Amino acid sequence: MNRIALATAVATLMTPRVAPAQTLSAREARLRAQVAVHFDQAVDLLARAVNVSSGTFNVAGVRATGALYRRELDLLGFTTRWVDLPPAMKRAGHLIGEWRGPRFAAGGKRILLIGHLDTVFEGDGQRFARRDTVARGAGTADMKGGNTAIILALKALKAAGLLDEMRIIVVMTGDEEAAGRPLSISRRDLIAAARESDVALAFEGGDARTATIARRGASGWLLTVQGRQSHSSGIFRDGAGYGAVFEAARILNEFRERLSRQPYLTFNPGTIVGGTDVSYDTAAVSGTAAGKTNIIANRVVVQGDLRFLTDRQEDSARAAMRAIVATSLPGTTATITFEEGYPGMPPTDGAREVLRLFDQVSQDLGYPAIEALPPERRGAGDVSFVAGIVASLDGLGVDGFGSHSPEEGVYLPSLKMAAERAALLMHRLSRPRLNLP
Ligand SMILES: [Zn+2]
Domain CATH code at residue 152: 3.40.630.10
Round the average pLDDT of the chain to a whole number and report it.
Answer: 94
Same domain, 194 and 67: yes
**The last residue of a domain, from among 338, 365, 389:** 338
Query: Average pLDDT, stretch 223-240?
Result: 94
Same domain, 169 and 253: no
* Distance between Cα 107 and ligand 1 center (Å): 32
Going by C-alpha positions, the residue among 178, 216, 146 that lies closest to residue 387 is: 216
* Distance between Cα 177 and ligand 1 center (Å): 6
**The last residue of a domain, from among 307, 338, 369:** 338
Same domain, 7 and 137: yes
* Contact between residue 398 and residue 358 where contact means Cβ atoms under 8 Å apart: no
* Backbone angles phi and psi of 114, in degrees to 5: -115, 125
> In this structure, what DSSP letter does residue 160 have?
T
* Distance between Cα 212 and ligand 1 center (Å): 13
* Backbone angles phi and psi of 295, in degrees to 5: -125, 135
* Distance between Cα 252 and ligand 1 center (Å): 31
Residue 434 has pLDDT above 80, yes or no: no
* Contact between residue 160 and residue 34 where contact means Cβ atoms under 8 Å apart: yes
Per-residue HEC secondary structure of 262-322 comes to CCCCEEEEEEEEEECEEEEECCCCEEEEECCCCECCCEEEEEEEEEECCHHHHHHHHHHHH
* Contact between residue 211 and residue 347 where contact means Cβ atoms under 8 Å apart: no
Residue 176 has pLDDT above 90, yes or no: yes
* Distance between Cα 300 and ligand 1 center (Å): 34
Can you give the CATH number for the domain in which 281 is found? 3.30.70.360
* Distance between Cα 11 and ligand 1 center (Å): 22
**Residue 256 to residue 261: CA distance in whole angstroms:** 8
Same domain, 208 and 222: no
| 391 assigned to some structural domain | yes
Same domain, 307 and 158: no
| 42 assigned to some structural domain | yes
pLDDT category at 149 given cuts 50, 70, 90 is very high
Provide the pLDDT for residue 9: 66
* Distance between Cα 432 and ligand 1 center (Å): 32
**Residues at Cβ < 5 Å from ligand 1 ion:** 142-143, 204
Collapse the DSSP code of 246 into the 3-class scheme (helix H, G, I; strand E, B; otherwise coil) and give the result. helix
* Distance between Cα 403 and ligand 1 center (Å): 9
Same domain, 131 and 237: no
**Residue 364 to residue 424: CA distance in whole angstroms:** 10
Same domain, 326 and 385: no
Burial of 107 (0-12, 13-18, 19+ CB in 10 A): exposed
* Distance between Cα 303 and ligand 1 center (Å): 24
Query: Average pLDDT, stretch 112-128?
Result: 91
**Residue 387 to residue 54: CA distance in whole angstroms:** 27
* Distance between Cα 322 and ligand 1 center (Å): 32
Collapse the DSSP code of 96 into the 3-class scheme (helix H, G, I; strand E, B; otherwise coil) and give the result. strand
* Distance between Cα 385 and ligand 1 center (Å): 14
Q: Could you give the number of structural domains in the chain?
A: 2
| 132 assigned to some structural domain | yes
Same domain, 102 and 58: yes
Q: What is the pLDDT of residues 187-217, one digit of tens each?
A: 999 999 999 999 999 999 889 999 999 999 9
* Distance between Cα 358 and ligand 1 center (Å): 21
| Helix 39-50 and helix 59-76, axial crossing angle in degrees, nearest 10 | 160
| 357 assigned to some structural domain | yes
Q: What angle do CA 233, 237, 243 make, to 5 degrees?
A: 75
Same domain, 64 and 161: yes
Going by C-alpha positions, the residue among 421, 335, 435, 366 that lies closest to residue 156 is: 421
* Distance between Cα 204 and ligand 1 center (Å): 5
Q: Which long-range contacts (CB under 8 A, 24 or more apart) does 251-258 make?
A: 251/223, 251/225, 251/324, 251/325, 251/334, 252/302, 254/324, 255/321, 255/324, 258/320, 258/324
Distances (CA, A) of 290 to 246, 259, 282: 16, 31, 18
Same domain, 176 and 225: no
| 65 assigned to some structural domain | yes
**Residue 214 to residue 208: CA distance in whole angstroms:** 18
Residue 1 has pLDDT above 50, yes or no: no
Q: What percent of the chain has pLDDT over 70?
A: 95
Q: What is the pLDDT of residues 255-290, one digit of tens each?
A: 999 999 999 999 999 999 999 999 999 988 999 999
Strand partners of residue 118:
none
| 89 assigned to some structural domain | yes
* Distance between Cα 342 and ligand 1 center (Å): 14
Whole-model pTM: value is: 0.89
* Distance between Cα 281 and ligand 1 center (Å): 26
Give the structural domain span for 282: 217-338
Distances (CA, A) of 92 to 54, 55, 60, 82, 276: 10, 10, 7, 10, 41
| 435 assigned to some structural domain | no
Same domain, 209 and 226: no
**The last residue of a domain, from among 304, 338, 372:** 338
| 193 assigned to some structural domain | yes
* Distance between Cα 136 and ligand 1 center (Å): 16
Same domain, 140 and 204: yes
* Distance between Cα 144 and ligand 1 center (Å): 9
Q: What percent of the chain has pLDDT over 90?
A: 86
* Distance between Cα 16 and ligand 1 center (Å): 26
